[in-house]
Structure 1
């Protein structure tokens, strides 16, 4: 029974990735308690020969293969002992002696560099101690370089991994200090080159956006793929810590939200480099790689019919670029006016208007996933996009707003062209200045050039540490007694140490160049936060006191939030009371206007639920359903007969400006016929309302109060003379009666 349930649950959760499913769901018949069978084969020459004979019998082609030949190379590097001890000098840079009996902490036997503080140290000493910590982490490329360098016979000083990481950290800190000094002395051209950017900030109102990043709070940010800001626990919006792009988990293929920072695929490869999309001119948005290592937007891979995601869970890589027909590559986008990439076309069968996906997002064209994102990944027929001329009537934006978005996109690409010309000019000036200047700090590809001073500082630091290699006893060797060997003098050791510093500087420059000038150490880590510097290691009592204080603050904040909610609720109730008073006043003083408003609302709800007639505007006149409603709000429609006159004029305009088969003509006809069917009822209700007593009657002869008012509650005023009363009557009505 349990096995059947497991199989059923596995079938029901087939949409989940393999990493999230339980092992029993994939292999329901597995026995976790069963021991594995172990087979021992004696590697004798006879058994090996019989094995090869059996292999040739089963596969005769194995005998035609060439026998591999190789030459075994013995490594000349000294192997690190299993248990080695770190000297005190190395320990000052953050390395921990895992095998020392005097170690204060019981660390696991793996590579570890914790940041420890002492209670007696001052804040300045702790910060200086932190700046001395080795922060660079070696990779496989660095290990191969060290192995190659230490294998050379002319290098008698072995470079250990600890010393190499310390040296790379020193070079990174030196370059960071030098860069900060250069930025303070930078001219206006370099500052202008940094500020030349059209995306983000206040430029969004001028150029629009295609990546969902808007100027506002975190809650205002929209997904760069589906352009929606809603999310839940199973499909939350995550923000890239490199480019601040916001995407849903499902829209970008984020199966798990990692603890700490999260980087999108583009920032994970290289955060400081701009990638070009193969299908559109936009350089912002959510990127994924193709199967040929090129880049594409996720929205481009979603909306172009020939493209698909090889893995529908992680949404990468994007494949199908070879299936795109040549005719699609030749299309010209009518928004940006560029003939590049691959465009999509309007979903209207009689329209062939072409546009890039990101250009359509920037212009806010109609782009709908009728059944959601996951359904669009499996079936692209659920995607619908229309140009500005064939936008459905139920779209939230009007045609004028869409045209305004298209103009914003065109202004963006126009200014982007001018910006690129300005950047090219600045780059040419920079290259010219580099050629004329003999002191170069960076190459044209933004690769740093280590000055001579770096090598000198590094050589002095290495000599100060006096590190050489690991001796036979497992201790990190030190360069004591440099002149003891008759064949080597102290000067020769210092010369080799200087040469080693120069080699490390060259390798550091190449390493930076491979990263396109990006820093090798991330300085925004949490190893030097304020709490660790100011408080260091806390006792249990201190930690408990801080927790109690934090709980008190949380309780106070909850009370403040509750008071804010009550105040907000009070304001809401006051607003409802004001609206009720306003409605009562309008009904009391302007009953006919209120009747017309109710008539329009009922007709719109019954015959124009999709707002087809409400959003319609005439090309030759200002008459529209919105205009009629505005006139009634301004008290310029005094009777139902005047309303009939306006609706009749609207019906004639709709019929004259549109074809009879158009949807707006049909809606307008039903709207007007529904009004005409109840016209007599409206007239009777209007007559009944006019017979009701009003609080104030204004006549052409004089201003009087109705008899049902209590004159005793009025204040005593001096009566008007005959001339003043005539002026007041002329001002109020000019001989006509007004009813307020």
Structure 2
């Protein structure tokens, strides 16, 4: 039967083991002793109480004098410093580095340069007549003041334009405008006339303001939505559709990218209010649906302009801009392997045009028979038929994105398309691709064979007469949608300039009006950014009131934030002041001698204005300069007040003996310092003696004129 024994503590076991090993070590040292058998294991003897207390008692702390006799804690210890060659090694390294740099410079080509004339020319002064149009004179300083709403002159950009609005220049010239104006001034120079840059900006601003009024007064185009839908359906039945427009009444319009009409809350279908195309949010990169009307990228930038896709002949569909300013379809970008979106979230701009091989540009579409853009080929490996992406969509070919649009953006292997001969049987069962090809061919035909029976044959004279008659008709806009100003606007401008005593030739105003029209046609929008007229009157009065209430809340929050910021600033200033006072108190308490030295120096430099005394230098090397005295005080090099007094006395005697009586430092010492010298130095030295004796109470009560030797704490 096993007997359980109590196991001794680790300390006791360690003591017992040390006690048992002692005789063994002695036996091992003796060479003559015969080998002995190891003793049989036996249970350890019980530990006495005194032995346990001796082992478990912790060590008591003792004074260092018990170990180091004769060591005084107040006596400084001698420090032995071994001389090192760090400075010599650094100097040797610096010289070596300098030689290496010199060798490198000898191998380099010496730079050659020539001094260029100063090309900086001051801007010509603004004419005084231009100040009334919002320009500031060169020497006038704009002062903050209150502007009345009618005098502000920014009604055009804030949608608050009124008939009595004063003209303020809001147009900014670009390089093209500067080149055109330089060309005009070259012709005017023959007659001794000149048109300034400011006047040109005023004229362009006036044209924009007048057209804003005209645009509001023009009658809107009457649209019969039912009739437009019927025309779109007939057009789709006759020519097909590559953007989903023209669906049957019983069907929902499909997305112009994925050709599907299913949607949910996270991926809704949005309709463009300009071209009526429908796109999913994920298919077109619409991060959020805005309130009010939504315009696609093409209608937003180049409305009423027929821009063809760079990769196909179609002018309809969902467009995005390329990195070079052109336009391309989203579906063309998805199906052409070399193209990609720079920003996959917003799906713009289209990049990778340079990666498309030349062989792809040379392919001819077998549907429309046009060698335009870049074609794709059938996904069947043995088929090399080429066709445009939009032609395939219009012909109702099989085009599938296996894992959705977002996957197709990053992996082009998930998109497939088949020609009419290799499309799946299930697809051919519901779609007639042969008829779709005929519709596409009819859509891209030249038109000479269509409606030829309805044409009327006329002579060249009758054609010229019709053209002349048509040219006399006034048009509000050009073919590309750019506005045309009527003559009454130019006459009003001429009258306004004459009222401001800025007469100009009206013929050049006609030229500026034509240039303004061409500029609007090139940019495709207003030259001064302002609210879109299509968005006017969309919000109801209730929605406007809600927005105004929200703005009031935001205004209140901003006012509270400004108040909190001002309070935080005051708090920070008070904390800084408190910290400085605390540092001063700590310096007075722990370094009272240095405080006395600094106060004495501050008293000496009390009336030094513009650092005139500190910047004074002395020719005698035995007399320290004032700047050197300040550095020594800042670096705590003075140990006693008497050391500073000796330096100030040397400066005093040297200045009185060698300096001009009219100098600043001479007058300072004679008129100011010598009056307070004895009293100030005596008080400082008295406080110093009190500190050296360890009498802080005496030091606390010592005060002198200009000095406050108060010890706090």
**TM-score when scaled to structure 2?**
0.46
**TM-score when scaled to structure 1?**
0.45
